[in-house]
Amino acid sequence: MVEEVRFLSKRFDVEDGYTLDGYERTGGYRAVRKALEMEPTDIINVVKDSGLRGRGGAGFSTGMKWSFMPAAPVRPSYFICNADESEPGTYKDRWLLERDPHLLIEGIIIACLAIRSEHSFIYIRGEYEWPARRLGDAIVEAYERGYLGDDVFGTGRRVHITVHRGAGAYIAGEESALLDSLEGRRGFPRLRPPYPAQSGLYASPTTVNNVETICSVPGIIEHGAEWYRQWGTEDSTGTKLVCVSGEVRIPRVFEVAQGTPLRAIVEELCGGMIDDRPVKFFVPGGSSVRILPGDKLDVGLDFESMQEADSMLGTAALMVFSDRTCTLDAVLNWTQFYEHESCGKCTPCREGTFWLTQILTRLETGLGRRADIDIVEDACRQIEGRSFCALGDGAAQPPLSAIKYFRDEWEAHVEERGCPLGATPRAERVEPLFPFRTSEAGTIEPPRARLPLSPPEYADTAAAGRRGRDSA
Which is nearer to other proteins, 250 or 371 (by Cβ)?
371
Which is nearer to other proteins, 36 or 390 (by Cβ)?
390
Distances from the Cα of 337 to the Cα of 88, 114, 251, 283, angstroms = 9, 37, 22, 16
- What's the CA dihedral at 196, 198, 203, 206 to 10 degrees? 50
- In the chain, the N- to C-terminal Cα span, in Å, equals 49
Q: Which string of b and e fits 217-236 if b means at least 16 CB within 10 Å?
A: bbbbbbbebeebbebbbeeb
Distance in Å, CB of 38 to other proteins, minimum: 37
Which is nearer to other proteins, 72 or 191 (by Cβ)?
191
Convert 329-342 into a string of H (helix), E (strand) and C (coil): HHHHHHHHHHHHHC
Distance in Å, CB of 310 to other proteins, minimum: 16
Q: What's the helix, strand, coil split of the chain in %, to 5?
A: 45, 15, 40
Distance in Å, CB of 252 to other proteins, minimum: 32
CB 314 within 8 A of CB 346: no
Distance in Å, CB of 268 to other proteins, minimum: 37
Distance in Å, CB of 150 to other proteins, minimum: 31
- Crossing angle of helices 347-364 and 370-383, in 10° steps, is 160
CB 87 within 8 A of CB 317: yes
Distance in Å, CB of 412 to other proteins, minimum: 21
Which is nearer to other proteins, 375 or 462 (by Cβ)?
375
Which is nearer to other proteins, 74 or 434 (by Cβ)?
434
Sheet strand arrangement including 206-210? 149-152, 157-165, 119-124, 78-83, 206-210
Which is nearer to other proteins, 171 or 299 (by Cβ)?
171
Distance in Å, CB of 374 to other proteins, minimum: 9
Q: Which amino acid is at 355?
A: W
Is residue 106 exposed (0-12), middle (13-18) or buried (19+ Cβ within 10 Å)?
A: buried
Distance in Å, CB of 128 to other proteins, minimum: 20
- What's the CA dihedral at 136, 141, 142, 146 to 10 degrees? 140
Alpha helix (H) residue ranges in 288-389: 303-308, 327-341, 347-364, 370-383
Distances from the Cα of 463 to the Cα of 6, 67, 139, 264, 472, angstroms = 34, 32, 11, 46, 14
- Distant-in-sequence, close-in-space partners of 466: CB < 8 Å, separation ≥ 6: none
Which is nearer to other proteins, 185 or 407 (by Cβ)?
185
Query: Of 3, 407, 8, whose CA–CA distance to 241 is shortest?
Result: 8
Q: How many CB atoms lie within 10 A of CB 298?
A: 11
Which is nearer to other proteins, 259 or 352 (by Cβ)?
352
Which is nearer to other proteins, 60 or 227 (by Cβ)?
60
CB 159 within 8 A of CB 152: yes
Distance in Å, CB of 189 to other proteins, minimum: 9
Does the N-terminal peptide bond of residue 194 adopt cis geometry, omega within 30 degrees of 0?
yes
Q: Which residues bind other proteins (CB under 8 A)?
A: 169, 171, 186, 191, 339-348, 350-355, 358-359, 362, 371, 375, 378-379, 382, 385-388, 434, 436-437, 439, 441-450
Distance in Å, CB of 392 to other proteins, minimum: 9
Query: Of 109, 195, 210, 119, whose CA–CA distance to 163 is shortest?
Result: 119
CA–centroid distance for 157 within its chain:
30
Distance in Å, CB of 291 to other proteins, minimum: 22
Which is nearer to other proteins, 340 or 467 (by Cβ)?
340
Which is nearer to other proteins, 120 or 342 (by Cβ)?
342
